[in-house]
Amino acid sequence: MSKDPTFKSFFEKATGHSPYPYQTKLATSEKLPELIIIPTGMGKTDAVVLGWLWRRRFDPGEEIRAGTPRRLIYCLPMRVLVDQTRDKAIGWLKNLGMWAEDSEVDDFLEGWASKQDVGGKRIAVTVLMGGECKDEWDLYPERDAIIIGTQDMLLSRALNRGYGMSRYRWPVHFGFFNLDFCRRHLCAA
């Protein structure tokens, strides 16, 4: 196994199939687009989640890895879409040897990812929607994370009014949700 993976080999290991050209372009371009318009069923979730993961951990350019936000926050309008996206993200992370069962897990990579010599720890997938058991992802700000949730839960945190949580933790989520957004836009300027 090569220690200098290509996006194609990374994508194939995660999903079991080759990426579409737009998925490769999104992951490997110098700048991320502000908008993606792709028909339903053409792999937007794959492109976004795996594009972020490639840029954050595997891209050969140190500037791109450093400029990619630590947390991917994936906002969806319906609970069923949150569940589907969570299941896909966990499956991809498992295939790559990068899945952490919860945010407390601090294990090293295994399988395919460990052979790539990129370092780093496993990544937890946190779901934020009403009625879900809350993972305490915010206790580990130094770790990469994928946070998937419904619009109400995510937007309320971005506005410093986190639904379903202690008001004393509102500023923490507000800071984490807005820090990576601001950092991305400041790095791009």
Q: Per residue in 163-180, pLDDT tens?
A: 888 888 888 888 888 876
Question: d(Cα 22, Cα 25) in Å, to the nearest integer?
Answer: 5
Is the pLDDT at 23 greater than 80? The verdict is yes
Is the pLDDT at 105 greater than 90? The verdict is no
More confident position, 102 or 131: 102
* 52-56, 86-90, 164-168: segment of lowest average pLDDT: 164-168
Start-to-end CA distance of the chain, whole Å, equals: 38
State the average pLDDT over residues 90-111: 89
pLDDT score of 189? 35
pLDDT score of 98? 94
Question: d(Cα 125, Cα 134) in Å, to the nearest integer?
Answer: 11
pLDDT score of 166? 84
Q: What stretches of the chain show up as alpha helix (H) in DSSP?
A: 7-15, 21-28, 44-53, 62-67, 79-96, 111-114, 151-158, 170-188
| Residue ranges covered by each domain of the chain | 7-63+70-188
* 5-14, 46-55, 105-114: segment of lowest average pLDDT: 105-114
CATH for 7-63+70-188 (1.10.10, 3.40.50, 2.60.40, 3.10.450): 3.40.50
Q: Up-side HSE of residue 64: CA atoms within 13 Å toward CB?
A: 18
Pull the structure tokens for residue 186: 């400041």
pLDDT score of 136? 80
| Confidence category of residue 116, pLDDT binned at 50, 70, 90 | confident
